[in-house]
Structure formats: structure tokens, C-alpha cells
Chains A and B, each alone.
Chain A
Amino acid sequence: MVNIGDIINAGLFAAALRMATPLIFASIGGLFSERVGVVNIALEGMMLTGAFAGVLATFAIGNPWIGVLASIFAGGLLGFIHAVLTVKFAGNQIVSGTGINLLALGATGYLSQAIWGSRGASQPVQGIDAISIPLLKDVPFLGEVIGTQTPIVYLSILTVILSYVLLFKTPIGLRLRAVGEHPEAADTSGVNVYKTKYLFLILSGMLAGLGGAFLSLAHLNLFVLGMTGGRGFIALAAMILGGWNPVGAFGASFLFGFADAFQMRLQSVAALPSQIILTLPYILTIVVLAIFARKRIAPSDYKPYTKE
């Protein structure tokens, strides 16, 4: 007999926060990209490449924090490629994103076989351990949820706050939103539209790469082929549900993270086959989009901008 308390408890919320972390980074990465007027469905590939680069650098150098930096760099590089294709060459944003996703899937599979001799997974590397926050960890319930987590989880919460301030409380945020909403107006008022798009697409990639680092350096401590499992697309749904707002994206990511953590728990206790339980996060994503797509207004029309 399954006891409901064995599934729903503080530990589940702690796991939900962990599973939300890669989505938080990627959905905020996605909203920066869309706020400057570029759809970024390449989040999936950016995360996957970040996850791979993190493990590769850690494998080579032995320090997982160097791995995290490598993840950020690799994601940023793909963000730059997306910017070159969609901003400089005014290419199709969805096609470019799909190209990056395919390239990421192929390149990580190719390199993991070339380096570790196995297509499925890398060798395990040293991961990033959890830390405890004094005092906070002793608070009932809350302490169990957020008192002891890996530093990347705390970094994701910091990212939410900083992104919110940047977007809505600084002149830079005003300019970047103007670039997405009214590029012509932004241009005439002296904002460098192209430079802003490049900058925030690179940032978008860096954040997605960092989300990937969480998966391979804090969650599993190794790289597994296709380990992002559609999280880049779930992050896009979280971005929409969150109304292209970092705080909203955090809430939505937590919802999806909760679904993910819940299905993992369910797998260990329920008699249902894992294949059925594994579909839950994907079905939830579809349902959420179906309910909220019309209730959210996109911050841009995503047309490529050409200076007159």
C-alpha cells in the first residue's frame, strides 16, 4: 500500500526545486531572447551542449566549477551562432534553432563516442556537492526544501532576482524591451538594435548552458546522450506561462519541476510502468500551453529587423 506521505513531503518540494533549476535558467534565457525579438527554440541544444561541455571540462581539468564555466561558454557560443544567423543574416528563427538542436545532438553524441568510446554516456566526473545554509536549514519545512541544495540551485534563484531587476528596473532593461517591441523606435532613439540582440542572445545561450551544467554536474555527474529530454521546449512553455517575466518563469518552472520530481517518485513507489509515468511532464506542458497560450501576449512580433 502506497502511503501518500511517502510521496508528498518536504523532500518532494526539495526535489521539485532541483528539477526546476535547469528550467529556470533556460526559461529566463528564452525570455531574454524573445524580449529582444528572437524566438529561441535552440534552448534544448544549448542546454545539451552546456551539459556536455561541463562534463568534458571537468573530465579534463578535474574541477567541476571550471566545468560550469565551460557550460556557460558553450551555451553562449551557440547563442552567438543563433544571433549571426537570425540577426545578421535575417534567417528563419525556427529553422536556425532546429539546426542548432540537431548540431548539438549530433556533436555531443559524436564527441562522447570519440572521447569516451561510448555513445550512450560519458565517464562519471566529480560533481558539485550540495551545501547547507546555516540557520535556514533548521527552519521547519522550508529548511528541508531550500536549506541544503547545490550552489547552482541558489544561483538560479539569484538569477531570477537579477534578471527581474535588469529587465524592469534599469535603463538597459528598458532598451532591450524596446528592441523587441518597437525596433524602429528603439533605433531612432539611439539604441543599437543589432548589438542589443547579439548581447542578449549570447546571454540567453549562456543561461541555457548553465541549466545544462546543472543536469550533468549537479544532478547526474555524467553526460548522457540526449539527457535534456525536451527540457528546452518545456522551458519555452514555462516562459510563456510565466508571461515572459523572470518571476513568472520561476513559478512556471517550479510547476514543471514539481511534475518531474513527482513522476520520479511515482516511478519508485507506484505499480505503473515507468514509460507511462514518464509522459506526465510532456502532457502537462501541452495542457498548460492549451490553457494559457491565449492569455499571454508575446513581447515582440519576432520579425527580423533591417535598418533602413
Chain B
Amino acid sequence: MTEIPSNSQKIKVLLERIWTKVAVSLENSTPQIIAVIAAFLIGAIILLVTGYSPLEAYGTMLFGAFGDIYGIGQTLTQATPILFTALAFVLAFKCGLFNLGAEGQLIIGGFFAAVVGISFAGLPIFLHLPFAVLAGAFGGAIWGLVPAVLKAKLGAHEVITTMMLSYVALYVTSYFVNYPLKAPGPVAQTIPIQPSAELPRLLPVTQLSAAFILSIAAAAATAYLLERTTIGYEVRAIGLNPAAAQNAGINTKKMIVLAMVLSGAIAGIGGAGEILGVHRRFIDGFSPGYGWDGLAVALIGGLNPIGSIVAAILFGAIRSGGISMNVSTGVPLDLITVLQGLVVLFVAAPKIIGYIRKKGGFKWLTSGT
């Protein structure tokens, strides 16, 4: 007769399992952790040189991001579009594509969602809201489709075409909210969307909306798609070796188009979430660079959807805490972009971390591994 484990034993086994998982993923992400720390250290030097106190700046950033419920709400609010654009980057990257156009796909997605959100007054929420979110996905998908087809059919490099399309998205939406769709008043924005298209808010006072839940679901869906489906398998095969994938009978052109369309759609939903959940109208230039945040987050998250969740919250914290830092210490907000650039540079060459370790740097952090 086998012994039935007691509840406390079960919990112990479960906790041990979770701990092993956490320890393994922490160990695997040591390079990314070092990259973030190194970026903040260089940022501290820049702060010192330009006459600011790094302790005060980072202190207000940390407190602003996590100090109270409002801060945490705003951190998760900022993390939401960043997670979407990170997932967009990850999905394309797994197929061997660099989608540098998540910024434009997010903007177009937000615009499409706004147009649907403004129209169709009287539609019930269970129809109007999904319709508006899908419109966002559709807008982003078109902005992903164009570079995908140009790449698959004509060989045009997606790095250039996605960048160019981001500028087009910025100007075209700017035209619409400055002319045909402009709300009365001095600001270049549309009128508010119908209440039936609003994503509900989750925390009073903060702007945290159901878009956050959508972003977590999108991360899970992307992870499932990549790891558990034939499409995901084929996408990854192309990313690893396109020639071998082609020889194995995978229709690489079709998959490239599919991956970029899905990538654009994810970024587009991110834009829809911003418009339907946070701003509730389309505002000219509403994105402070979420597309680029997403790229940094995808890299910090180890190009993995679940890792991206953790990294997105980190970058959401940097953004929301950065605003507090800017208000109370006067440190320019661009420090955020500087930190992003540094993180991306450190992640670009994982060997640089090994080099720093060999030279004896970060011993206190890496002695255990």
C-alpha cells in the first residue's frame, strides 16, 4: 500500500518545485540582470556628471513606481502597451525577422480602435468593445502585412520598411486628428469613444484597465503558439535556419507573412488597449515610444513571452517612476531612453558580460553561478 502524502508534504514539494524553477530562470537570466544593473550604473554616472543625485533620482523613481497603490497601478498601466510590443518583437524574432515597426503598428492599432470606438453609438458593450479591440488588431496586422509581403515576395529588408512605416503611421494619424477627426479645441485629438467601447478600469484613481489582463493573456497565448503548435514549431524552425526549414517542406514565405501579420496584430491590440482603456480617445502622438520599450523588454525577457512579462513590469516601473523622478527632481525624462539604449547594447553582445565577469566585475552578483 502506497503512503498517501500529507497536505504539508504536498505543499513542501510544490514550494520546492516553484523554488527550483525560480532559481533556474534567475540563473539563466543572469546576463540580462547584469545588463540592467550595468545600465543603471552608467546612468548614475551620467546623472552625477550632469549635476543630479543618482540616489535621489533612482530613489524617487523606485518610490514613484512601487511606493503606493497608485504607483503600482500606474506601473502596470505603463507595462501593458510595453508587453504587447515586446510580444510583437518576440514573435517576429522567432521567425528570424526584426520588427522595428511595433511603434507604428501600435499607433495604427490605436487609431483603428478609436475610429470604431467613436462610431456605432448604441451598440451593446459585448459587441462594441470586442469589435474595437479587433479593429486595433486589424490595423496593426495591415502595418505588419506590408513589410512581410515586401520581404517574402520582393526581398525588401524589414528593418528599413518597418521603420519607414512607423513614420507613415505617425504622420497619417496626425493628419486625421488634426483635420477630419479633430475634436473642437486646441488639442489634436478625437472626440471621446462611446462608453460601450471602453475597457473597464481595474483600480480606482489609476488608469489601470482591463488591457493589462489582455496583455497577460496575449503573453500566454504567444507562449502557447510558439511552444505547443505546429505554426510555432515552423516559425521557430525558420528562425533557426530558413534554408533547412525550406528543405524540410515548410512554406517559409507564407510563415514569414503570418508571423509578421500576427506580430503587427499584437502591437495593434496594444494600441487599442491604450486608447480604449487609458485615454478613451485618440491623441496625436500618444505613444512616448512604447514600440522601442517593447524591443528592450523582449531582449531583457530573453526573447520569451513569459520572461517579457517580468521585464515589461520593470520597464513599466521605469516609465511610471520616471515621471515621478522628472516631476520631483527635474531629471530629464530622456534618462529612460538612455537606460533602454544601454540595456539593449549590453544584451546585444552576451559575450561582453562574460568578459566583465572574467575581469572580476560583478563578483558579488555572480559568485554563486
Are A and B bound to each other? yes
Q: Spell out A's residues near B (CB within 8 Å).
A: 41, 81, 85-86, 89-92, 94-96, 98-107, 109-111, 113-114, 119, 229-230, 233-234, 236-237, 240, 273, 275-276, 278-279, 282-283, 285-286, 289-291, 293-294
A interface, over-half SS: helix
- Rounded to whole Å, the gap between the CB of A10 and the closest CB of chain B is 29
If the complex has contacts A110-B334, A289-B150, A289-B157, are A101 and B172 also in contact, measured as CB distance less than 8 A? no
Q: Mind listing 20 A-B residue pairs with CB under 8 Å?
A: A89-B350, A90-B349, A92-B349, A94-B98, A95-B348, A99-B346, A101-B341, A102-B292, A104-B341, A106-B335, A107-B46, A107-B341, A110-B334, A113-B332, A230-B167, A236-B159, A237-B160, A282-B164, A283-B164, A285-B160
In the A-B complex, the 3 residue pairs with the closest CB atoms: A91-B349, A106-B337, A103-B341
Q: Write the chain B residue with the least CB distance to A296.
A: B155
> Does the CB pair B348–A294 fall under 8 Å?
no
> Does the CB pair B347–A275 fall under 8 Å?
no
Interface centre among A90, A98, A100, A101 (most CB of B within 10 A): A98
Interface string of B255-277 (1 = CB under 8 A from A): 00000000000000000000000
> Does the CB pair B334–A85 fall under 8 Å?
no
Q: Which single member of B178, B299, B337, B339 contacts A275 (CB below 8 Å)?
A: B178
> Does the CB pair B351–A95 fall under 8 Å?
no
Q: Which single member of B100, B150, B296, B349 contacts A86 (CB below 8 Å)?
A: B349
- Rounded to whole Å, the gap between the CB of A143 and the closest CB of chain B is 35
> Does the CB pair B348–A96 fall under 8 Å?
yes
Residues on B with beta carbons closer than 8 Å to the beta carbon of A113? 332, 334
Query: Number of B interface residues, CB 8 Å?
Result: 51
Q: Which single member of A94, A103, A234, A290 contacts B345 (CB below 8 Å)?
A: A103
> Does the CB pair A103–B167 fall under 8 Å?
no
Q: Write the chain B residue with the least CB distance to A96.
A: B348
If the complex has contacts A94-B159, A99-B341, A286-B165, are A109 and B350 also in contact, measured as CB distance less than 8 A? no
Residues on B with beta carbons closer than 8 Å to the beta carbon of A85? 345, 348-349, 352
Interface centre among A92, A230, A240, A289 (most CB of B within 10 A): A289
> Does the CB pair A98–B344 fall under 8 Å?
yes
Q: Spell out B's residues near A (CB within 8 Å).
A: 46, 50-51, 98, 100, 146, 150, 154-157, 159-161, 163-165, 167-168, 171-172, 174-175, 178-179, 292, 295-296, 299, 332-352, 355
> Does the CB pair A289–B175 fall under 8 Å?
no
Q: How many A-B pairs fall under 8 Å by CB? A: 154
> Does the CB pair A279–B167 fall under 8 Å?
yes
If the complex has contacts A89-B349, A91-B351, are A233 and B299 also in contact, measured as CB distance less than 8 A? no
- Rounded to whole Å, the gap between the CB of A142 and the closest CB of chain B is 32
> Does the CB pair B155–A106 fall under 8 Å?
no
Bound CA–CA A122/B212 (angstroms) = 38
Residues on A with beta carbons closer than 8 Å to the beta carbon of B350? 89, 91
Residues on B with beta carbons closer than 8 Å to the beta carbon of A229? 167
Bound CA–CA A282/B146 (angstroms) = 14
- Rounded to whole Å, the gap between the CB of B223 and the closest CB of chain A is 22
Q: Which single member of B159, B333, B345 contacts A99 (CB below 8 Å)?
A: B345
Bound CA–CA A41/B295 (angstroms) = 15
> Does the CB pair A96–B345 fall under 8 Å?
yes
Q: Which single member of A91, A95, A110 contacts B335 (CB below 8 Å)?
A: A110
Residues on B with beta carbons closer than 8 Å to the beta carbon of A98? 100, 295, 344, 348
Residues on A with beta carbons closer than 8 Å to the beta carbon of B335? 106, 110
> Does the CB pair B157–A95 fall under 8 Å?
no
> Does the CB pair B178–A91 fall under 8 Å?
no
Residues on A with beta carbons closer than 8 Å to the beta carbon of B299? 95
> Does the CB pair A114–B164 fall under 8 Å?
no
- Rounded to whole Å, the gap between the CB of B347 and the closest CB of chain A is 7
Bound CA–CA A273/B178 (angstroms) = 9
> Does the CB pair A91–B348 fall under 8 Å?
yes
> Does the CB pair B336–A106 fall under 8 Å?
yes
Bound CA–CA A86/B351 (angstroms) = 10
> Does the CB pair A106–B340 fall under 8 Å?
yes
Q: Write the chain B residue with the least CB distance to A291.
A: B154
Residues on B with beta carbons closer than 8 Å to the beta carbon of A293? 150, 154-157
